[in-house]
A and B are shown apart, each in its own frame.
Chain A
Amino acid sequence: MRHTLAVLVENRPGVLTRVAGLFSRRGYNIESLAVGTTEDPKVSRMTIVVDGDDHVIEQVCKQLYKLVDVIRLDDITHEEHVDRELILIKVDADPSTRGEIVQIVEIFRARIVDIGKDSLIIEATGDQGKINAIESALVPFGIREVVRTGKIAMVRGAKYRHE
Chain B
Amino acid sequence: MQVAKSDPLTGAQIVMRALEEEGVDTVFGFPGGAVLFLYDALYACSSIRHILVRHEQGAAHAADAYARATGKPGVCFATSGPGATNLVTGITNAYMDSVPMVAFTGQVSLDLLGRDSFQEADITGITLPVTKHNFLVKDVGDLARIIHEAFHIASTGRPGPVLVDLPKDVTAAKADFVWPPKMQLPGYRVPKNGHGVNVPQWVEVLSRSERPVIYAGGGVITSGASSELLKLAEKCQIPVTTTLMGKGCFPEDHFLSLGMLGMHGTAYANYAVTNCDLLIALGARFDDRVTGSIASFAPQAQVIHVDIDPAEIGKNVLVQIPVVGDVRQVLATVLPALPELKHEAWLAQVEEWKKQYPLRYERSDTQIKPQQVIESISNLADDQTIVCTDVGQHQMWAAQYYRARRPRTFISSGGLGTMGFGLPAGIGAQVGRPEANVWVIAGDGSLQMTVQELATITQHDLPVKIAIIDNGYLGMVRQWQELFCEGRYSHTRITGPDYVKLAEAYGIPGYRIEDPGQVREALEQAKAMEGPVILDFVVCCEENVFPMVPPGGSLTEMLGNGR
Q: In chain A, what residue has the closest Cβ to B129?
A: A25
Q: Which residues of B contact A14 (CB under 8 A)?
A: 124, 128, 136
User: Are A18 and B128 in contact (CB-based, < 8 A)?
Assistant: yes
Quick one: CB contact mask for B181-193 with A, threshold 8 Å, 1 for yes?
A: 0000111110000
Contact B128 A68 (CB under 8 A): no
Q: Is the interface of A mostly helix, strand, loop or mixed?
A: helix
The answer to whether B311 touches A62 (Cβ under 8 A) is yes
Chain B residue nearest to A9 (CB atoms) is: B187
Interface string of B171-204 (1 = CB under 8 A from A): 0000000000000011111000000000000000
Bound complex: CA of A160 vs CA of B254, how far in Å? 53
* B311 touching A70, Cβ below 8 Å: no
Closest to B189 in A: A65
Q: Which residues of B contact A71 (CB under 8 A)?
A: 186-187
Residue of B nearest to A10 (CB): B187
Most buried by B among A21, A62, A63, A65: A62
Within 8 Å by CB of B311, from A10, A17, A66, A69, lies A66
Residue interface mask A60-91, B partner, CB < 8 A = 1: 00110111111110000000000000000000
| Choice from A21, A59, A63, A69 contacting B187 with Cβ under 8 Å | A69
Q: Which of B291-309 contact A (CB under 8 A)?
A: 309
Count class of interface residues, chain A: 20 to 34
Contact B125 A66 (CB under 8 A): no
- Residues of B in contact, count (CB < 8 Å): 18
B124 CB contacts on chain A under 8 angstroms: 14
Residue A58 is within 8 A (CB to CB) of chain B in the complex: yes
Residues from chain A with Cβ under 8 Å of B189 in the complex: 65
Q: Which residues A44-69 have CB closer than 8 A to chain B?
A: 55, 58-59, 62-63, 65-69
A107 to B510, CA, bound (A): 88
Shortest C-beta distance, B239 to chain A (Å), equals: 30
Q: Is B411 an interface residue (CB 8 A)?
A: no
Chain B CB within 10 A, most for which of A17, A58, A65, A68:
A68
Query: What per-residue 1/0 map shows which CB atoms of B271-310 lie under 8 Å from chain A?
Result: 0000000000000000000000000000000000000011
Interface residues of B in 127-158 (CB under 8 A from A): 128-129, 132-133, 136, 153
* Contact call A17/B186, Cβ cutoff below 8 A: no
B315 on the A face (CB < 8 A)? yes
Is B8 in the interface zone, CB < 8 Å from A?
no
**Interface flag for B314 (CB, 8 Å):** yes
Chain A residue at minimum C-beta to C-beta distance from B134: A14
Q: A17 contacts B187, CB within 8 Å?
A: no
A68 and B153 in contact (CB under 8 A), knowing A10-B186, A10-B187, A59-B315? yes
Q: Which residues of A contact B315 (CB under 8 A)?
A: 59
How far is B185's CA from A70's CA once the two chains are assembled, in angstroms?
10
**A136-151 residues at the B interface, CB under 8 angstroms:** none
Given known pairs A17-B125, A18-B128, A21-B128, the reply for A58 and B314 (CB within 8 Å) is: yes
Contacts of A70 in B (CB 8 A): 187
Residues of B within 8 A of A62 (CB): 310-311
Tell me the bound Cα distance from A62 to B313 in angstroms: 10
Q: Is the CB of A59 within 8 A of B311?
A: yes
Q: Which residues of A contact B309 (CB under 8 A)?
A: 66
What residue of chain A has the Cβ atom nearest to residue B158's Cβ? A66
Q: Which of B132, B186, B187, B188 has the largest count of A CB atoms less than 10 A from its CB?
A: B187
- Give the Cβ gap from A7 to chain B, nearest Cβ, in Å: 10
Bound Cα distance A87, B186 (Å): 34
Give chain B nearest CB distance to A22 CB in angstroms: 8
Q: Are A63 and B129 in contact (CB under 8 A)?
A: no
How far, in angstroms, from A70 to B309 measured CA to CA in the complex?
A: 15
Residue of B with least CB distance to A13: B136
Distance between Cα atoms of A21 and B311 in the complex (Å): 17
- State whether A67 touches B311 (Cβ < 8 A): no
Q: Are the CB atoms of A68 and B311 closer together than 8 Å?
A: no
For the A-B complex with A66-B310, A66-B311, A71-B187 known, give 16 more contacts whose Cβ atoms are closer than 8 Å. Answer: A10-B187, A14-B124, A14-B128, A14-B136, A17-B125, A17-B128, A21-B129, A25-B129, A59-B311, A59-B315, A65-B310, A67-B187, A68-B153, A68-B187, A69-B187, A70-B187
Query: Would you mind naming 9 contact pairs between A and B with Cβ atoms under 8 Å apart?
Result: A14-B128, A17-B128, A21-B128, A21-B129, A25-B129, A59-B315, A66-B310, A71-B186, A71-B187
Question: Residues of B with Cβ closer than 8 Å to A?
Answer: 124-125, 128-129, 132-133, 136, 153, 185-189, 309-311, 314-315
10 interchain residue pairs of minimum CB distance: A62-B311, A71-B187, A68-B133, A68-B188, A70-B187, A25-B129, A71-B186, A63-B311, A62-B310, A69-B187
